[in-house]
Structure 1
Amino acid sequence: MVVTVPISNTSPLTNLAAIGQFDLLRRLYGRLLIAEAVWDELNAGGRAWPGRAEVAAADWIARRAAQNRPLVTALRERLDPGEAETIALAVECQPPFVLMDEREGRRSAHRFDLKTVGVVGVLIEAKGRGLVAHVGPLLERLRQEAGFFLSDSVMQQARAVCGEE
């Protein structure tokens, strides 16, 4: 089954929520699909993870379990449950791209010829569409408020792409 909406892993949801930019996902893509394991991660440990309430309230986000359990199991040797099921679901559904930040998860997705976009790419696209005025301050907030690792070179490249040098 082919879907026309992106499939998101946990990190873009939690990090955009942590900096108050969760709604960019709806404004950019209209709808999202998440794997059941992503929902489980958002609810892990009884903690109120950033993005949990937003996902629960979002009628534009659908949840689906990957059917290829052997693939999920194989991917779990290297990846966390959310990444593994997100990739397996994407292999089944062939979305336009997968929202994923973690390096190993992105590498695994690319092995299946899946296109990936991370939270920085989401912010760059939002700037390009006029949904945010500046990317630089949002990148700083990702670092400071969300604890998201961004190298100085990635921050500089993102600012340059957005004409904010």
Structure 2
Amino acid sequence: MIVVSDTSALSNLAIIDHLWLLKAIYQTVIIPTVVADELAAASNLKISATLQLDWIHPQLLVNTQLANQLQRDRGLDAGEANAIALALELQANDLLIDERLGRQEALRLGLSIIGILGILVIAKQRTLIPKVQPIMDALINQAGFRISPQLYHRVLALSQEP
């Protein structure tokens, strides 16, 4: 299974010490070199240390024209645009992306997407974690991750948590 990730998904999970969920679910995560550069430049040591994990593999994007077009015409940032282009190039099973605009573009281009909250639901279903609520709370309080009240409650319902 091939999964490509953008920067924010890895950063947010790194901040709350839950990157291990991605390895447990996917074994390997591929990132564009632009995302690797963004992670390396992070001032938070948990984020920059992500690149030391042997299951996260930076890969050079061949179709830079598409990434540039997504940035220019669709207003995506470099990490999102390169992740989408690399996911298309590799025919990835999933693209790990959370930003609304990036998700919309990925879906428009026919990609299968998943976000951090989807990862948490899968982790709960596979009994990798006992509850999603404390992890969502950590994302909100420690990583500054934004979750609407409606989505928060929907994820709890999907996870069969009160």
Could you tell me the TM-score, scaled by structure 2's length?
Answer: 0.94
Residue 148, structure 1, aligned to residue 152, structure 2? no
Aligned to 1:82: 79
Query: Share of identical aligned residues, percent?
Result: 38
Alignment map for 1:31-50 (pairs within 5 Å) = 31-44=28-41, 47-48=43-44, 50=46
3-state SS of 1:76 partner: helix
CA distance in 2, matches of 1:108, 1:19: 27
CA distance in 2, matches of 1:106, 1:19: 23
Equivalent AA in structure 2 for residue 18 of structure 1: I
- 8 Å CA contact 1:15–1:50 kept in 2: the answer is no
For residue 51 of structure 1, the aligned residue among 47, 56, 65 is 47
Distance change (3 Å), C-alpha of 1:26 and 1:39: same
Which consecutive unaligned segments of at least 5 residues does structure 2 have? none
- 8 Å CA contact 1:14–1:49 kept in 2: the answer is no
Aligned to 1:18: 15
3-state SS of 1:51 partner: helix
Aligned to 2:61: 66
Aligned to 1:5: 2
Q: CA deviation at 1:117?
A: 0.3
Q: What's the RMSD between the two structures over aligned residues?
A: 1.2
Q: CA deviation at 1:112?
A: 1.1
Runs of 4+ aligned residues of structure 1 deviating over 3 Å after TM superposition are none
CA distance in 1, matches of 2:78, 2:11: 16
CA distance in 1, matches of 2:154, 2:54: 34
Figure out how many residues of one structure are paired with residues of the other and give that number: 160
Residue 111, structure 1, aligned to residue 108, structure 2? yes
CA distance in 1, matches of 2:61, 2:51: 19
CA distance in 2, matches of 1:146, 1:102: 14
Deviations 1:41-78 (A, max 9, x none): 1123x62354320x222111111121112111101121
CA distance in 2, matches of 1:100, 1:151: 17
3-state SS of 2:110 partner: coil
CA distance in 2, matches of 1:149, 1:19: 14
